[in-house]
Amino acid sequence: MTNETNPRLQEFQAQVDDLKLAGGKANPERTAVRLSVVLFVVAVIIEIRAYVGSTGTENEFAQNDYLILAVLGVVVALGAVALFIRASLTRYFRYWLVRLVYEDRASTDRIVDAIKES
């Protein structure tokens, strides 16, 4: 049977063609955790650069620029930490939910078995 001759398959083909795809990335939490680690490393580099730069000059204007850079580094670090916590909690709660569903099913099966045996 070909796709062209079966109306249901033609309809199915049209519906699949209309599907909206979310992008196809597997395990978004893992990507987010990796991104947060990279961001944190970048933040540390920014802070070191700001420290080395500010201690290496007596020009107050330049020190102000390094101060701003240091604040930016703190913001990036805080963002990285927030992203890490968010992704880790999402992963943890997903497994927790799966576990709850599994235990609920197992519990129902046990109850049904007990009813049948009684």
CB of 26 to other proteins, least distance (A): 4
CB of 39 to other proteins, least distance (A): 21
- Closer to other proteins by CB, 45 or 106: give it: 106
Number of neighbours of residue 51 by Cβ within 10 angstroms: 14
Radius of gyration of the chain (CA): 27
Name the residues that contact other proteins, by CB under 8 A. Answer: 1-4, 6, 8-9, 11-13, 15-27, 30, 91, 105, 108-109, 111-112, 115-116
49: tokens are: 């650069």
CA distance 50 to 62: 10
